[in-house]
Amino acid sequence: MKKMKWTNSKPYSKQKTYKLSIAFLVSGLLTIALCSLVAGSLNAQTVLTAQETQKIQQKADKWVNVLQLQPAAKAAKIKEFVRRHLTAVYEWNKSHPATEVPAGRNPRTGDMLTELDRRMIAQSAMPASVHKRLMDSLNAYLTPEQVGVVLDGYTVGKVAFTLKGYQAIVPDLTEEETAEILKNLKEAREMAIDYKNMKSISAIFEIFKTKNEQYLNQHGRNWHQLFKNYVNKIKAEKAAKAAGQEK
């Protein structure tokens, strides 16, 4: 019996050693793979070009200079807040392209995701702390109106432009309706500042424009008919102007 135990323990020992070797091998491969991923992630944080850095600084200067802040040290501080935020947005956009999001279908519409959809999904994954840091910093030094001016710089004045469009399409907007529309547009503006290009910024505003149109429909308006009437009015005005020029 002792002999049997001895002869059986030898292959068991080899089997145990073999399993340990496999475990160490797998562990080693996983470590190498993890190191490669970390290295890839670090490499993905592409350094911005000198031209991109200059563009960011120019934007920060332009948007903050509108406020004519005094003293100069305060203006410099606000510009740094904006520069730091824009740098984070540009870096994230550059290191997280649309190709990071697998091609697939939009679960709400059933349509295939467009390149813009995928780009926006990738950009929206940027840490929320980047946005919060900017807003907290701006609100600590500026009035709400001044913060709005800075955000208008990011979004090329889309709030005022879009509100003007609603007022043209619905001339008898009530104060309550105007307030709700403006609230949604300001929410769109703040969300849009975390996106780099104008197509993405416009797409964010489209989301909230749809909300505004739904709001009007739910409060006794017929947005489709209102918009149709507005288009017909513009066409009639153009036709009348053209006819007058021919005379």
Q: What pLDDT sits at residue 108?
A: 86
Which domain covers residue 109, as residue numbers? 47-142
Q: What pLDDT sits at residue 231?
A: 96
Q: Is 134 inside any structural domain?
A: yes
**Does 244 lie in the same domain as 214?**
yes
Q: What pLDDT sits at residue 241?
A: 84
**Does 160 lie in the same domain as 119?**
no
Q: What pLDDT sits at residue 26?
A: 34
Give 207's contacts (C-beta < 8 A, 6+ positions apart): 188
Question: How many domains in the chain?
Answer: 3
Confidence (pTM): 0.78
Q: What pLDDT sits at residue 1?
A: 42
Q: What pLDDT sits at residue 240?
A: 86
**Does 75 lie in the same domain as 63?**
yes
Q: What pLDDT sits at residue 247?
A: 65
pLDDT block averages, 10 residues each, the chain of length 247: 39 42 38 36 65 97 97 97 98 94 91 94 96 98 98 98 97 96 98 96 97 97 96 92 77
**Does 179 lie in the same domain as 244?**
yes
d(CA 9, CA 239): 100
Q: Is 109 inside any structural domain?
A: yes
Its sign, for the CA torsion 157, 160, 164, 170, is positive
**Does 160 lie in the same domain as 91?**
no
Q: What pLDDT sits at residue 242?
A: 83
Q: What pLDDT sits at residue 230?
A: 96
> What pLDDT digit, counting tens, does each position of 186-200 carry?
999 999 999 999 999
Q: Is 147 inside any structural domain?
A: no
**Does 66 lie in the same domain as 20?**
no
| Cβ contact 151:189 at 8 Å | yes
Choosing from 29, 44, 59, the residue where a domain stops is 44
> What pLDDT digit, counting tens, does each position of 32-46 carry?
333 333 334 434 456
**Does 105 lie in the same domain as 159?**
no
